[in-house]
């Protein structure tokens, strides 16, 4: 479902989505952003590059802390919002695909947050993300990924759907639908307005286990350095719902 003014080249994040992306609360809450920015600032030791920089939710406040930040972003509609944020005018954004796009410079840290590696829906494409991160890193540089773990433990045999928000009174139902053979899944968002009109957004993703990402990293010449359950650097457990992993360029 897209609006008339949307540019198909902007993928799943066209103008109609970008316009509402920076709303209050959730991932935009100041504590949530500060936790990410603090951890990234600790890991950075020179210029950094954000893959899929979006509207600069993280890149702009990181740049405001004095870290030189570049970004790669597919959607012009999302990227157009970066410069308007405090610190954002210092972020150097290149429009392109993070699987292939090269930017000038050597970086101490490349990071890819907020589940966005899952937007690349093939294993080959995800390996290309790791390879492209490695190309941009100086020796000893770090690649960080933040991504949710698939909710497969909530799937009994014969079932492929996990609801994550059911609020019919509020006019919203959200559910993920998994294909455990291909590791593809869709996130489905059904919204019904008070007048009864509705929208159905179905967004494709691919999940990869942390161990699969370690192999992708090895293919790209990276070795795992950290694996956390969250930005507080707590250890990953069987009940973790996401991971924040960091790999180091070995040469």
Shortest approach of ligand SAM to residue 161 CB, angstroms?
A: 22
Note whether 93 binds ligand SAM by CB under 6 A.
no
Cβ closest to ligand SAM, residue 78 vs residue 133 = 78
Residue number closest to ligand SAM, CB atom: 54
Whichever of 61 and 141 has its CB closer to ligand SAM, that residue is 61
The residue within the footprint of ligand SAM, chosen from 37, 44, 52, 93 (CB under 6 A), is 52
Could you give the C-alpha distances from 8 to 12, 101, 103, 110, 120, in angstroms and in order? 8, 19, 24, 27, 17
Give the residue with the Cβ less far from ligand SAM, 144 or 217. Answer: 144
Find the Cα–Cα–Cα–Cα dihedral 99, 104, 108, 109, rounded to 10°.
Answer: -30
Q: Which two tokens stand for residue 226?
A: 């950290």
DSSP assignment of 16-58 equals HHHHHHT-SSGGGSHHHHHHHHHHHHHH-SS-EEEES-TT-TT
Query: Cβ-count burial of 37 within 10 angstroms (0-12 exposed, 13-18 middle, 19+ buried)?
Result: buried
78 is an interface residue for ligand SAM by CB under 6 A: yes
Distance CA 200, CA 171 (A): 12
Least separation in angstroms between CB 96 and ligand SAM: 7
Contact status: 83 vs ligand SAM (CB under 6 A): no
- Please report how close the Cβ of residue 186 comes to ligand SAM at its closest, in angstroms: 15
Tokens read off for 186: 């869709």
Q: Measured from the CB atom, is 97 or 214 closer to ligand SAM?
A: 97
Q: Which is nearer to ligand SAM, 13 or 178 (CB)?
A: 13
- Residues of this chain, 55-74, that bind ligand SAM according to CB under 6 A: 57-58, 72-74
The three-class DSSP label of residue 92 is strand
In this structure, what DSSP letter does residue 80 have? T
Distance CA 251, CA 62 (A): 27
Each residue 95-134 as x (binds ligand SAM by CB under 6 A) or -, in order, gives --xxx-------------xx-x--xx--------------
For ligand SAM, give the closer residue by CB, 37 or 137: 37
Phi-psi region of 187 (alpha: psi -120 to 50; beta: other; left: phi over 0): beta
Closest CB 75 distance from ligand SAM, rounded Å: 4
Please report, as ranges, the residues that interact with ligand SAM according to CB under 6 A: 11, 13, 52-54, 57-58, 72-75, 78, 97-99, 113-114, 116, 119-120
């Amino acid at each position: 479902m897209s609006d008339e003014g949307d540019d198909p080249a902007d993928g799943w994040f066209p103008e109609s989505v970008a316009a509402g992306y920076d709303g209050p609360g959730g991932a935009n809450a100041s504590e949530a952003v500060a936790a990410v920015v603090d951890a990234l600032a600790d890991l950075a030791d020179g210029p950094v590059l954000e893959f899929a920089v979006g509207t600069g939710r993280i890149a702009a406040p990181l740049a405001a802390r004095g870290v030189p930040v570049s970004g790669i972003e597919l959607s012009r509609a999302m990227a157009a919002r970066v410069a308007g944020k405090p610190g954002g005018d210092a972020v150097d954004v290149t429009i392109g695909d993070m699987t292939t796009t090269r930017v000038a410079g050597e970086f101490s840290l490349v990071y890819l947050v907020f589940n966005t590696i899952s937007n690349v829906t093939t294993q080959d494409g995800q390996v290309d993300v790791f390879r492209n991160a490695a190309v941009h890193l100086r020796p000893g540089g770090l690649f960080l990924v933040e991504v949710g773990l698939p909710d497969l433990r909530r799937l009994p045999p014969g079932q492929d759907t996990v609801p994550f928000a059911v609020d019919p009174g509020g006019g919203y139902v959200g559910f993920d639908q998994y294909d455990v053979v291909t590791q593809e899944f869709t996130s489905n968002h059904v919204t019904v307005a008070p007048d009864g009109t509705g929208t159905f957004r179905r967004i494709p993703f691919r999940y990869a286990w942390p161990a699969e990402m370690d192999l992708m990293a090895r293919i790209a010449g990276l070795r795992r350095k950290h694996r956390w359950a969250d930005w507080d650097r707590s250890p990953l457990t069987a009940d973790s719902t996401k991971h924040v992993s960091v790999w180091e360029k070995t040469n």
